[in-house]
Amino acid sequence: MAEPGSVVELIRRKRDGGELTASEIDWLIEAYTRDDAPDYQMAAFLMAVVWRGLSDDETLALTLAMARSGAQLRLRERFGRVADKHSTGGVGDKMTLVIAPVVATCGLPVAKMAGRGLGHTGGTIDKLESIPGMRTELSAAEFVALVERHGMALAAQSGELAPADGKLYALRDVTATVESIPLIAASAMSKKLAVGSSDLLLDVKVGRGAFMRTEDDARKLAELMVHIGRDAGIRTTATLTAMEQPLGAAVGNALEVKEAAATLRGQGRADVMRLCLHESALLLRSAGLVGTLAEGEARARAVIESGAALEKLAEVVAAQGGDAAAIHDWKLLPQARVIRVTKAPRAGWVASWAADEVGAVAMALGAGRARKGDAIAPEVGLWLLAMAGERIEHGEPLAEIYARSEDEAERAERRLLAALTWSDAPVAASPLTLGEIV
């Protein structure tokens, strides 16, 4: 049993703006993981951290302590080069489904554990699970074996890795202590450190559809995560990308799989393709497979054009028990009972879709979950047919709404139209990428 007085002393020091040593943080996290330090003490500590922050040293110590709290896969010791990716999450963010097979096909193995989502749509894992038969709950051994055999694995975050983070995250969720840049960085990075890749790409989203609302906060978070990753021996690159508007056309689980496959077929939106090539190139350059971003983008484009990247996704889906044919034929994915085509109520240019509102519409349709364990409807969501900067005429199709009922579709349509800002004059689409920390 942890000396309760000692925990109080650590809480008090943080409350008063002081700093904890690495060994004090280790001790606290070990005690908490063993259930020796109770939730109520940790909750008070977390709120004191939200208040006072953590120094870079404290954040690093917390990340390492959580990474060491369970199994550590040490993948770079097994594979030499192996890539990992993390996105802070946004509306319509299906980039992992695109980038992982591209990078893997280029010869850089990808070992990605992902979370289930809370909010507008599911996470990467929920999207993958819309593919019939797809298994994402893999043991650590299966995960490693898939990377070995196929150069790629996409698995649900294993409870064997960084269990302290799992426990802490659940507590933060019910104590309003999620919103802290050092805690967010430590949580994300502890899982990445436990996997132990050689190269890591962090996609930090910024804007009204993202957790970080300002570029300043996003940059702080990105720099902190890069600092932690590099300190732990992972070549870490971060990119800041815009999340004022949804990313791509699809918002929903099966719909995003469809858009990811379309992108890999070279039939996706140009902006999604550009981001895919850019992020793939960042990883390839990080791992030393190419010397420049231009070279990396050319390699990525080549494996898309050859169809090899799409085949890689199908291969990995099959290896994880999924119906690989669904990658080629989206009719094999879950289909919505109601598809409503929303017509443009006027002519003009799309100035913007408010990402948070679009996310809320998808959530209301059943694409996301409000609480852990809620069921999600894989087949519902939105497909936006005109994006920012694009001209549309009165009465032309503006969006498709995939719903469980006419009623839900009608409510979604009203709300979706309210999320759209029109312009009478041409507007330029704002850039997707805002900068890198390399």
Using CB under 8 A, which of 33, 41, 59, 245 touches a copy of itself?
A: 41
Tokens of 353: 């879709």
165 is catalytic: yes
d(CA 185, CA 437): 15
Q: Of 28-36, 129-137, 172-180, 315-323, which segment contacts a copy of itself by CB under 8 A?
A: 172-180
153/145 Cα distance (integer angstroms): 9
Q: Which span sits near a copy of itself by CB under 8 A: 32-40, 88-96, 161-169, 312-320?
A: 32-40
Total residues at interface with a copy of itself (CB under 8 A): 27
Contact between 278 and 433 under an 8 Å Cβ cutoff? The reply is yes
Q: Could you give the angle at the alpha carbon of 311 between the alpha carbons of 309 and 314, nearest 5°?
A: 115
Residue 54 in contact with a copy of itself, rule: CB under 8 A:
no
Specify the DSSP element, H or E, that contains 203: strand 199-206
Enter the DSSP assignment of 344. P
End-to-end CA distance of the chain: 44
Task: Name the CA dihedral angle for 142, 145, 147, 151, rounded to a multiple of 10 degrees.
Answer: -130
- DSSP E strands, 34-159: 83-87, 110-114, 152-156
Member of 107, 139, 174, 298 binding a copy of itself (CB under 8 A): 174
Nearer to a copy of itself, 22 or 171 (CB): 171
Active-site residue, from 14, 76, 86, 120: 86
Q: Is 271 a catalytic site residue? A: no
Considering only residues 235 to 294 of the shown chain, the ones binding a copy of itself according to CB under 8 A are: none
- Quick one: 12 or 149, whose CB is closer to a copy of itself? 12
* Binding of residue 34 to a copy of itself (CB under 8 A): no
Pairing label, strands 83-87, 199-206? parallel
Q: Which is nearer to a copy of itself, 38 or 233 (CB)?
A: 38
Q: Does 86 participate in catalysis according to the annotation?
A: yes
Q: Which of 127, 191, 192, 258 is catalytic?
A: 191
One of 43, 302, 385, 437 touching a copy of itself (CB under 8 A): 43
Assess 38 for contact with a copy of itself (CB under 8 A). yes
Told to check if 374 binds a copy of itself by CB under 8 A, we report no
Q: Is 216 exposed, middle or buried (0-12, 13-18, 19+ CB in 10 A)?
A: exposed
Note whether 346 binds a copy of itself by CB under 8 A. no
Is 414 one of the annotated active-site residues of the chain?
A: no
Segment interacting with a copy of itself (CB under 8 A) among 4-12, 70-78, 205-213, 284-292: 4-12
Pair 268, 309: CB distance under 8 Å = no
Q: Which stretch binds a copy of itself (CB under 8 A): 38-46, 98-106, 344-352, 413-421?
A: 38-46
Q: Could you write out the DSSP letters of every residue in 357-413?
A: HHHHHHHHHTSSBSSTT----TT-EEEESS-TT-EE-TTSEEEEEEESSHHHHHHHH
177 near a copy of itself, rule: CB under 8 A? yes
**Active-site amino acid positions:** 86, 165, 172, 187, 191
* Interface contacts to a copy of itself, rule CB under 8 A: 4-5, 7-9, 11-12, 15, 38-44, 46-48, 50-51, 171, 173-177, 371
